């Protein structure tokens, strides 16, 4: 039991003091890193945001015939402005779920009501004033801190602001967050604490009034934890409502929060100030032992270490979050009605008539995203450098293996194998590269799109446009090498046809990879990509000619883009009435006449333009399907 007047000091930075009336209060001494975020000059000028939530439930489906699971059981609460609020609780208590629900990130299976300044939450309006920073730092690792900030400013600040004004905002934020000295460090090279601060800095650019942070201290050492929480505290005291989930804070860290919301198995055990937690527990008849960190004690209670009955006792006492007696200045907390009067609808008119879902126009988003895409491509060793290198190496290898096979009548079958090998190369490398790299891009897309940086349409168009020149350049390098080394006919129109088919195959394969990467994770995608490509190869007309395909399987040749690719190559190399081939290397030269070969493989040399049309339609269908799947995925994860 805590004695009146007793003082417990942990790590020299915080003291919990109980006065004669039994009120406990945390005293923060000048611990480390008090200097962060002394105050942004660009403080909120809009009204602070008061959040109230009632009877929040969240149920998730466990799969077909496996039923469902309720994570949140009708919790209630009040999140006041100017407060740094911690959602605490043992692992699995539902902290992240509650944060997902409050931020609007999770919508499926959610019940209850959320009120913003006394009115029912309208998501479009709420998203304009809030941001959500998830646990894993989803940053552009290839870009420096300054580049990350500049691009975010270009996407989130009005386009009529000049670069000097934007620069001032960036400087202000970076200086306050202690990142100014690391301006030129790439995201991937920052420490955990710096990455966390950069995640916060990026969202601060458009000055949100409400910030949700999922476990901002996880994985950080105690000094970085204090820095990050100090920073959040300073930002909250500038008029923001900041809500974080935390696992088990030390006493000193705990004292930095203004308000705590304790969850246990989806129910609220306590909602109130950090100072009032000890008296609350005392009043409930389960006092915090002396020399015990109250944060640790309440988590132990929430874990059920002192019995299930204590948990129910606390849930009843907190009325599952309805009780507001333990909040700061509880007697003067405005009612919903008075909040509505304080913020009349006419005040909201300005917010509602502002820019649409995103801060800037689609054109601006597209141009900024293209700029970012090219910057990343320039530095990305996998997507660009390795891709170019692979095309050169594979080109030289195939060229050496099939050297001079293109104009020799006795080596026509070898040349046919070469054309199929080229097709495989153009199918596998872009498809696998996309399947392997896109899921990591996906997590960044989810965060940035949710926080209204840009629309999905702008993002999708930008990745398509950025990749196009890289695909064309690498394909051209490969084609020149292979075409020359294997001595294919020296005719510019034939080479043009060969190159066009190659580029189309790369683009179609990449779109196929994008469809898989948008829906599946790396492991499943790596399995599915090659597996689904096998039927495409079967129906290409290479192993089994199109003539020999059973009639009931003929449809397969229409959906296989490899069929159009192979037929297009044949048209380019052996079509256009190609004259007799040389027969220098063998006495018997069965395929001296290209016509004989075309008859044997059952392919028409005059289908080139049909093949191009078929590949164009396939490309359009797959690109549209990938976009729709991406759109579905963005809503399905929520
Ligand atoms: N989509 C889901 N399907 C099934 N169970 C889920 C799903 N999402 C969350 N859960 C379960 O709900 C419970 C609460 O999860 P949540 O992530 O909110 O907990 P938490 O308190 O944030 O935990 P931690 O501190 O470990 O991150 C956990 O038991 C989790 O397994």
* pLDDT, tens only, 206-232: 888 999 999 888 877 888 888 889 888
Atom of ligand 1 nearest to the CA of 266: 14
Q: Which helix (H) or strand (E) holds 600?
A: helix 594-600
Calculate the average pLDDT of the chain. 85
Q: Which helix (H) or strand (E) holds 395?
A: helix 387-401
Residue 436's nearest CA partner among 530, 532, 523, 375 is 523
496 burial (CB, 10 Å; 0-12 / 13-18 / 19+) is: exposed
Atom of ligand 1 nearest to the CA of 61: 3
pLDDT at residue number 25:
44
Q: Does 116 score more than 50 pLDDT?
A: yes
Q: Name the closest-CA residue to atom 26, ligand 1.
A: 91
Q: Does 18 score more than 60 pLDDT?
A: no
Give the mean pLDDT of 464-476.
92
**What superfamily would CATH give domain 49-351?**
P-loop containing nucleotide triphosphate hydrolases (3.40.50.300)
Q: Does 408 score more than 90 pLDDT?
A: no
Q: Name the closest-CA residue to atom 25, ligand 1.
A: 91
Domain ranges of the chain: 49-351, 378-636
CA angle at residue 228 from 223 to 234, to 5 degrees? Answer: 120
Q: Which two tokens stand for residue 354?
A: 């502002």
Report pTM: 0.82
Write the DSSP symbol of residue 89: -
Q: Is the ipTM of this complex over 0.90?
A: yes
Cα(638)–Cα(624) distance, rounded to whole angstroms?
22
Give the mean pLDDT of 600-619.
89
In percent, the amount of the chain with pLDDT more than 90 equals 45
369 burial (CB, 10 Å; 0-12 / 13-18 / 19+) is: buried
pLDDT at residue number 464:
92
Q: Name the closest-CA residue to atom 1, ligand 1.
A: 60
**CB-based contact 298:270 (threshold 8 Å):** yes
Q: Name the closest-CA residue to atom 30, ligand 1.
A: 92
CB-defined site of ligand 1, < 6 Å: 60, 62, 69, 71, 89, 91-97, 247
Rounded to the nearest angstrom, the distance between the alpha carbon of 266 and the centre of ligand 1 is 10
Q: Return the minimum-mean-pLDDT range out of 4-18, 27-41, 377-391, 579-593.
A: 4-18
Q: Does 9 score more than 50 pLDDT?
A: no
* pLDDT, tens only, 336-351: 888 888 887 776 766 6
Give the mean pLDDT of 329-334.
82
| Residue in the block written with tokens 């008849």 | 285
Cα(216)–Cα(195) distance, rounded to whole angstroms?
10
> Can you say whether the dihedral through the CA atoms of 189, 194, 200, 206 is positive or negative?
negative
pLDDT at residue number 45:
58
Atom of ligand 1 nearest to the CA of 94: 18
> Which residues lie across from 267 on neighbouring strands?
264
Rounded to the nearest angstrom, the distance between the alpha carbon of 265 and the centre of ligand 1 is 10
Atom of ligand 1 nearest to the CA of 263: 21
543: how many CB neighbours lie within 10 A of its CB?
10
Atom of ligand 1 nearest to the CA of 98: 18
């Amino acid at each position: 039991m805590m004695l009146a007047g007793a003082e417990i000091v942990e790590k020299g930075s915080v003291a919990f003091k109980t006065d004669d009336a039994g009120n406990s209060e945390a005293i923060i001494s000048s611990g480390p890193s008090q200097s962060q975020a002394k105050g942004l000059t660009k403080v909120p000028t809009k009204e602070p945001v008061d959040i109230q939530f009632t009877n929040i439930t969240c149920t998730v489906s466990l799969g077909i015939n496996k039923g469902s699971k309720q994570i949140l059981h009708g919790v209630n609460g009040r999140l006041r402005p100017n407060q740094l609020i911690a959602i605490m609780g043992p692992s699995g208590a539902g902290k992240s779920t509650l944060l997902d629900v409050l931020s609007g990130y999770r919508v499926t299976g959610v019940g209850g009501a959320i009120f913003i300044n006394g009115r029912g939450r309208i998501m479009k309006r709420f998203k304009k004033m809030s941001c959500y920073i998830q646990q894993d730092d989803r940053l552009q690792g290839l870009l420096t801190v300054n580049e990350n900030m500049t691009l975010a400013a270009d996407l989130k600040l009005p386009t009529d602001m000049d670069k000097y004004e934007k620069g001032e905002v960036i400087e202000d934020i970076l200086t306050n967050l202690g990142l100014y000295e690391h301006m030129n460090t790439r995201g991937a090279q920052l420490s955990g604490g710096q990455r966390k601060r950069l995640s916060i800095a990026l969202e601060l650019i458009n000055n949100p009034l409400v910030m949700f942070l999922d476990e901002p201290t996880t994985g950080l050492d105690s000094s970085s934890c204090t820095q990050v929480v100090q920073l959040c505290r300073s930002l909250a005291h500038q008029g923001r409502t900041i809500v974080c989930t935390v696992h088990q804070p030390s006493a000193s860290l705990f004292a930095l929060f203004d308000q705590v919301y304790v969850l246990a198995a989806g129910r609220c055990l306590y909602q109130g100030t950090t100072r009032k937690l000890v008296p609350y527990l005392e009043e409930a008849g389960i006092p915090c032992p002396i020399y015990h960190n109250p944060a640790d004690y309440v988590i132990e209670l929430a874990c059920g270490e002192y019995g299930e009955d204590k948990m129910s006792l606390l849930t009843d006492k907190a009325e599952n979050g309805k009780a507001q007696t333990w909040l700061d200045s509880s007697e003067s907390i405005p009612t919903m009605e008075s909040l509505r009067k304080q913020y009349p609808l006419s005040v909201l008119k300005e917010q509602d008539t502002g820019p649409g879902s995103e801060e800037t126009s689609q054109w601006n988003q597209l141009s900024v995203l293209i700029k970012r895409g090219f910057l990343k491509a320039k530095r990305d060793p996998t997507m660009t450098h390795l891709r170019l290198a692979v095309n050169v190496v594979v080109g030289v290898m195939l060229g050496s293996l099939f050297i001079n096979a293109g104009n020799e009548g006795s080596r026509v079958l070898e040349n046919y194998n070469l054309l199929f090998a080229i097709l495989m190369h153009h199918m596998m490398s872009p498809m696998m590269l996309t399947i392997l790299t896109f899921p990591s891009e996906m997590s960044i897309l989810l965060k940035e799109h949710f926080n209204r940086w840009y629309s999905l349409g702008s993002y999708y168009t930008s990745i398509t446009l950025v990749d196009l020149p890289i695909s064309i350049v690498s394909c051209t390098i490969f084609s020149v090498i292979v075409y020359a080394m294997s001595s294919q006919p020296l005719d510019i129109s034939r080479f043009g046809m060969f190159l066009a088919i190659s580029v189309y195959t790369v683009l179609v394969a990449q779109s196929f990879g994008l469809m898989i990467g948008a829906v599946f994770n790396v492991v499943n995608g790596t399995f599915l990509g090659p597996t689904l490509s096998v039927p495409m190869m079967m129906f290409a007309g290479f192993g089994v000619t199109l003539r020999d395909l059973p009639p009931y399987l003929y449809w397969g040749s229409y959906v296989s883009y490899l069929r159009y690719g192979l037929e297009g190559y044949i048209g380019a190399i052996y079509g256009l009435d190609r004259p007799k081939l040389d027969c220098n290397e063998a006495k018997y030269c069965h395929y001296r006449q290209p016509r004989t070969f075309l008859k044997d493989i059952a392919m028409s040399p005059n289908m080139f333009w049909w093949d191009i049309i078929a590949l164009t339609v396939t490309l359009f269908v797959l690109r549209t399907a990938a976009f729709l799947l991406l759109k579905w995925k963005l809503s399905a994860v929520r």
